[in-house]
């Protein structure tokens, strides 16, 4: 047994002086060196160690390749998260821009729709003005009650229409005997 221990331990040069010293001592002085005292070395053959080293190296290779694969997958997933986050933020911004643009278009449509309607009503107001001017003042009397009622109806309609225009910011401008102002007046001609 001592020779087996000697051959196993003699392979390790650091422990060789300890082994030879212990073997030369008399039996009374011999002491047992625990496994921990050998620096964690095994007391049996080294034949199994290379297999375990090979297994460990194969396992280590497998684990390192798996770890590398997981790192690559993590990096790709992180990149995908960044891309999706960017797309999400852009979609939110596009949605907000679209909402603001549509709100402005709706307001503009209301404003321009009212403007077109008001322009059309201005023609009606002009026609009402011409109709009331066409009635001779001397004919409006109690002799012609139908004409008088018609004239009063036209003037009330014209007055009501002017009130509606004022409520919406349209005022009557009388450009007669005024110098042409392009900010207020529009150059028109009328055939008589």
Q: Which residue has the higher pLDDT, 64 or 169?
A: 64
Q: Indicate the pLDDT class of residue 122, thresholds 50, 70 and 90.
A: confident
In SS3 terms, the chain reads as: CHHHHHHHHHCCCCCHHHHHHHHHCCCCCCCCCCHHHHCCCCCCCCCHHHHHHHHHHHHHHHHHHHHHHHHHHHHHHHHHHHHHHHHHHHHHHHHHHHHHHHHHHHHHHHHHHHHHHHHHHHHHHHHHHHHHHHCCHHHCCCCCHHHHHHHHHHHHHHHHHHHHHHHCCCCCCCCCCCCCCCCCCCCCCCCC
Q: Which residue has the higher pLDDT, 79 or 124?
A: 79
**pLDDT tens readout for residues 33-56:** 555 555 555 555 555 555 566 777
Average pLDDT over every residue of 11-19: 48
Nearest to 132 by CA among 105, 161, 104: 161
Most confident segment among 101-105, 167-171, 182-186? 101-105
Dist. CA 77–CA 68, nearest whole Å: 14
The pLDDT score that the predictor gives to residue 15 is 47
Q: Which residue has the higher pLDDT, 82 or 30?
A: 82
Residue 30 phi, psi dihedral angles, 5° rounding = -70, 135
Tell me which of 35-44, 69-78, 125-134, 141-150 is least confident.
Answer: 35-44
Q: Indicate the pLDDT class of residue 67, thresholds 50, 70 and 90.
A: very high
Q: What's the mean pLDDT when you consider all of the chain?
A: 77
The pLDDT score that the predictor gives to residue 9 is 44
Residues 6+ apart with CB under 8 A from 22: 30, 31, 33
**pLDDT tens readout for residues 72-119:** 999 999 999 999 999 999 999 999 999 999 999 999 888 887 777 888
Q: Indicate the pLDDT class of residue 31, thresholds 50, 70 and 90.
A: low
């Amino acid at each position: 047994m001592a020779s087996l221990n000697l051959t196993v331990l003699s392979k390790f040069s650091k422990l060789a002086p300890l082994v030879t010293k212990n073997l030369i001592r008399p039996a009374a002085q011999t002491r047992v060196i625990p496994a921990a005292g050998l620096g964690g070395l095994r007391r049996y053959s080294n034949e199994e160690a290379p297999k375990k080293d090979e297994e460990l190296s194969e396992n280590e290779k497998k684990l390192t390749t798996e770890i590398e694969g997981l790192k690559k997958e993590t990096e790709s997933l992180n990149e995908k998260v960044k891309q999706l986050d960017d797309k999400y933020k852009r979609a939110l911004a596009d949605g907000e821009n679209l909402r603001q643009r549509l709100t402005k278009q709706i307001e503009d449509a209301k404003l321009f729709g009212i403007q077109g309607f008001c322009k059309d009503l201005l023609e009606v107001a002009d026609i009402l003005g011409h109709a009331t001017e066409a009635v001779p003042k001397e004919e409006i009397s109690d002799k012609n009650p139908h004409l008088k009622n018609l004239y009063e109806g036209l003037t009330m309609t014209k007055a009501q229409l002017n009130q509606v225009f004022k409520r919406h910011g349209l005022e009557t401008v009388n450009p007669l005997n005024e110098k042409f102002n392009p900010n207020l007046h529009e150059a028109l001609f009328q055939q008589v």
